[in-house]
Amino acid sequence: MAPKTRLMVCTVVVVLTGGTALPVAASSWTRGYVVGTYQYAFRYGGRPDFTRGAEIEPGVDCPHGSTTNFANPDQTRIALARQKWRSKQEIDWIVAPPGLDQVRDPGFTRLLIWDRAISYRGYKPGIETYVNPWAADDPGQPEVTSRIAEGFNLDGKINPTDFVSPDGEKGIDNALYRAGGCYASWRARDLTNAFSAALHQRYLEGGLYTMVIRISGNQDPMNDSDATMEIGYSPDKIVKDARGGIAVDYSYRILKSAQYTKLKAKIKNGVVETEQVEHLHTPRIARYYHQTGDTNLTKGKIRLNIVPNGLSGTGLIGGYRNWRDLYVENSFPSPRGAGFADIQLHEDHIALYYALRRKADGMLNPKTGQYDGISTAYRITLSSAYVVDADKSVKIPLQSDFYPPELWRRKAFESLKANIIKGIEARIPQAVPPGILEAGYPQLEQKFPVGLPGKDFFLKTLDRPHYPDGVGRDDDGNPIDDQGERIDSRGDKLDEEGDPLKPPQARQQVSNGAPATATMAQEQ
Amino acid sequence: MKRSFAIGFILAEFFASAGISIAADAPPAAAASGPAKLAQASDNLPMVPPAKPGVFTAQKRDDSRFHLVVAGHKFTTRSDIEKYLAYRAAELTMEQKASWFTLAESRANGDTAPMPKRDPAGLRYSFRMDYFRPVWRYKTSSSSAWKTWSPFAGAAFISDDAKSITDFEVSADIVLHKGQMDDADPLAFEAGAVSDLLINQVSPPE
C-alpha cells in the first residue's frame, strides 16, 4: 500500500470512530477446512453387541431396535397383505417362490421377485408405489423415542416434541432424526455398522464431491465477534494421507456456485456459530452422482468446534429441508431402484414418506397451511486445508464427463423427482420415467433363471413398468425393448456387448435385376 | 450378521449384472393374467362427485367434536361406504383448519372387540384404516325397523342379503386436532394423508 493511501485510510478511520482511541490493532486471519465426514446427525442409542431375534440393537433411541422391513418372509408377507387386491396364492408364491432352492442363486432370485412385488403396493394394481407413495397404505414407521439429539433450535421455541442437545440445550429441532433414526443403515455407533452412512462416506472420500469451509476475521481465530464463514463445493478431490486419513493443509478451490453460502459468524473459545440465514446452500450429502446438488436448507445455520491448534474440528449443519426432496433423494439411493434398496437395507420408504409428512415442522406453506419442511441436522468433521478462490471460469464438473451413463441416469432421476412431486401435489398416479430401474425392470427379465418353476407367473402376473421398444433403458443406459432385451435403433436385438444377435442380413436392393443376394441370404 | 448383510448388499449392488445359472426344470404355466397396465398420468385433477342432499351430514357436538353420518339406499360394499365416510371426515377436518382427527369409538356394554392400545415404542402411523370402524344401522325390504350392527360387538358384518337393504346409515364421531398428530394413537388419522389415499377411490353412495 502506498504511504499516501495508508494516510487516507487512517484519516477515514479516525473520522468514523469520532477520534476515540482504537483497541489493540486487529489482524486479519483466515482458516480453511475440508469436510472429511458428512452424515445425518442421528444419535445412536443402542448396544452393538445385542441382538434378539429379528430385532437389532434395541436402545434408548429405538426401543425395538432397527427397522426389519423385508428382512424375512414374514415381514414381506405383512407388507403384501396390505393390498386387498392380492390373492393369498399370489402372496404365498411371492414370499416363498416355489422351486427357489433349485436355482443357483436363490437369494438374488428372491430379491428380484420381492423387489417387483413390493414396488406395487397401491390401492389398486398398476400404481408404482415408490413413485406414488401417497397412494399406498401406511406400513408404519418406528420413531426415535429418546429425548436427546444433536441439532439446532431452529424456530426459537421449546416445544414438547423437541429434543434436548447432548449439552443440555432445549428446543432442538431435528425431526428427520425422529422420523428416520431407526433405519438400520444409518443407525450405528460408528460407520462400520451404518451401511448407508459408510457408503456415503466412501463416495465422499472417493471424490464424488468435496465440501470446504473457510472462516475469516479480524480478531483472533478462537475468539472473534465479527467473523465470516464461507461453505461451498470444491472441484478438488479429497487428498488422503498414508494412513487413509484426510491429509492436512492441502489446497482446495471453493466455487461460489449454487452450492455456496457466505455467513456472518461469531467465535467464542473455538466455537464458531453462524447467523441463521433464509437459505443455506451447501453440497448435498450423496452416494451417487444423480443425488448430488444443493442442500438448500431453509433457516439454516452452522456450528463448528475448532480444536485450539486449528488443525481439525467437528460441526453441525442444520435447517429445514423440503421433505418431498428428502423422500426422493433417500428412497432412490442406488440405480437399482427403491424396492431393491429397501429389501437389502430392511427399510420401507413408504413408511418414511408418511413419517416425513407428519413430522414436518417448518417452511409453512401459506397456500396449503401445511409444513413443507422438516428440521434436519448433518454432522461433519473437518481437516485443516488451504481454501482458495477458484477461477471464475471453473464450474461444478459433470460426472458424465467421465462416465457417460451418469448423464442419462441424472436426467432420469430428475424426471423421477418431478413425477413424484407432481403426483404428491396433484394426487394423480404418475408413471415411472424410463431409465429408472424400478420394480426390477429390466433386471428380472434379463436375469431370471429359466428353470424356476413359476417363472411365467412372476413375469406375467406381477406389475412392472412398460415402455415402447427403444424407450426403456438398461443399467448402462442402452435402449431396450419391452421385454428388457437390448436393441439397436432399428429395433433389432443385441447381445450384452451391443453386437447383433443375428448376423446382419442383406437387404432388398433396388435394381432392375433379380435380387439374388437377398434371396440367398434368406435361404441360409 | 451385519457383515454378511453389508457384503450381500455390496455384492448385489455391484455384481448384480453377473449371470445366473439356469435350472433345467420346466416352468409351470402362468397362474394369472398378463401384466397390468401402466398407471397413466393425466392432468385432470381427481374430484369426488358431489353427494346428493342427505347423503352426508355433519353435526357439531362441541368445539372440536363432530358426528358424521353417511346415508344411502343402494348398498354396494362395506369397504366402499366406510371409505367414503373416512374421506369426508378427512375433508371436514381440513375445512375446519385442523390437521388430524381421532375416531371416538361407539362402544357399548358387552362389546367384545379389543380396544386398540397405544404402543409408543412400536410403529407409528399416519392412519390405520383398519381402526376406522364406524357403526351401521340399516333397513331391509322385509321390515321397516332399523337394525344395528357394531364392529365392536363381535358379530359378523350384516348377515342379511345385501340386495334386500333398502336404507343404511354409517356413523362415526370424530374429534378434530391441530398441530402435530399423536401418531402413537391407533385411532388418530392425519387428514391430508387419508384424503390423498382415498380421493381416487371413493364416490358418494346413492
| Nearest CA-CA partner of B89 in B167, B148, B171 | B171
Determine whether the interchain pair B35/A93 forms a contact, defined as Cβ–Cβ distance below 8 Å. no
Q: How many angstroms separate the CA of residue A98 from the nearest CA in chain B?
A: 10
Determine the Cα–Cα distance for residues A260 and A283; give it in Å rounded to an integer: 8
- Whole-angstrom distance between the N-terminal and C-terminal Cα of chain B? 57
B135 neighbors B150 (Cβ within 8 angstroms): yes
| Nearest CA-CA partner of A260 in A292, A229, A227 | A229
Q: List CB contacts (< 8 A) between A369 and chain B.
A: 97, 99
Q: List CB contacts (< 8 A) between B127 and chain A.
A: 138
Determine whether the interchain pair A450/B27 forms a contact, defined as Cβ–Cβ distance below 8 Å. yes
Q: How many angstroms separate the CA of residue B200 from the nearest CA in chain A?
A: 8
pTM of the shown model: 0.87
Selecting from B8, B33, B121 the residue whose C-beta is nearest the C-beta of A64 gives: B121
Q: Which of B176, B197, B201, B202 to mutate to test the interface with A (most CBs of A within 10 A)?
A: B197
Residue B35 confidence (pLDDT): 34
Residue A450 confidence (pLDDT): 72
Determine the Cα–Cα distance for residues A100 and B113; give it in Å rounded to an integer: 40
- List phi, psi (to 5°) of A451: -80, -5
Determine whether the interchain pair A461/B31 forms a contact, defined as Cβ–Cβ distance below 8 Å. yes
Determine the Cα–Cα distance for residues A469 and A461; give it in Å rounded to an integer: 20
**Which 21-40 residues of chain B touch chain A by CB within 8 A?**
21-40
Please indicate whether residue B161 or residue B68 has the higher confidence score (pLDDT). B68
Counting one residue from chain A and one from chain B, the pairs whose CB atoms sit within 8 A come to 199
Residue A3 confidence (pLDDT): 40
User: Among all residues of chain B, which has the CA nearest to that of A69?
Assistant: B123
Determine the Cα–Cα distance for residues B42 and A423; give it in Å rounded to an integer: 10
Determine whether the interchain pair B20/A345 forms a contact, defined as Cβ–Cβ distance below 8 Å. no
Residue B188 confidence (pLDDT): 98
Please indicate whether residue B31 or residue B121 has the higher confidence score (pLDDT). B121
Determine the Cα–Cα distance for residues A130 and B177; give it in Å rounded to an integer: 29
Walking along chain A (524 residues) 10 residues at a time, the average pLDDT comes out as 40 41 67 96 83 77 92 97 96 95 90 96 97 98 96 97 96 98 84 82 93 97 97 96 93 96 98 98 92 95 97 97 96 86 95 98 93 97 96 78 72 93 95 91 84 86 94 87 90 86 60 44 36
**Which 49-88 residues of chain B touch chain A by CB within 8 A?**
79
Selecting from B13, B26, B79 the residue whose C-beta is nearest the C-beta of A334 gives: B13
Helix (H) or strand (E) holding A39, with range, is strand A29-40
**Which 118-177 residues of chain B touch chain A by CB within 8 A?**
120-129
The residue with cell 426390477 is A440
A357 neighbors A349 (Cβ within 8 angstroms): no
A343 neighbors A118 (Cβ within 8 angstroms): yes
For A131-269, strand residue ranges (E) read 141-142, 210-217, 224-234, 250-254, 261-268
| Nearest CA-CA partner of B167 in B189, B197, B147 | B147
Integer angstrom CA distances of residue B55 from A188, B70, B73: 54, 5, 9
Determine the Cα–Cα distance for residues B95 and A315; give it in Å rounded to an integer: 43
DSSP string, B40-101: PP-SS---PPPPPTTSEEEEE-SSSEEEEEEEESS---HHHHHHHHHHHHHHHHHHTT--EE
Residue A397 confidence (pLDDT): 78
| ipTM score assigned to the predicted complex | 0.87
A218 neighbors A27 (Cβ within 8 angstroms): yes
Determine the Cα angle at B139 with ends B137 and B145, to 5°.
95
Determine whether the interchain pair B16/A443 forms a contact, defined as Cβ–Cβ distance below 8 Å. yes
| Nearest CA-CA partner of B91 in B82, B81, B102, B99 | B99
Q: How many angstroms separate the CA of residue B144 from the nearest CA in chain A?
A: 34
Q: How many angstroms separate the CA of residue B88 from the nearest CA in chain A?
A: 16
Helix (H) or strand (E) holding A383, with range, is strand A371-389
Determine whether the interchain pair A123/B6 forms a contact, defined as Cβ–Cβ distance below 8 Å. no
Please indicate whether residue A116 or residue B5 has the higher confidence score (pLDDT). A116
A218-247 b/e (C-beta count within 10 Å ≥ 16 → b)? ebebbebeebbbbbbbbbbebbeeeeeebb
Cβ-count burial of A512 within 10 angstroms (0-12 exposed, 13-18 middle, 19+ buried)? Answer: exposed
Determine the Cα–Cα distance for residues A293 and A489; give it in Å rounded to an integer: 33
DSSP string, A105-154: -HHHHHHHHHHHHHT--BSSTT--TTT-GGGB----EE----SB--SB-S
* Domain parsing of chain A, residue ranges: 29-54+139-395, 73-138+403-461
- List phi, psi (to 5°) of A221: -60, -25
Determine the Cα–Cα distance for residues A425 and A405; give it in Å rounded to an integer: 30
User: Among all residues of chain B, which has the CA nearest to that of A100?
Assistant: B23
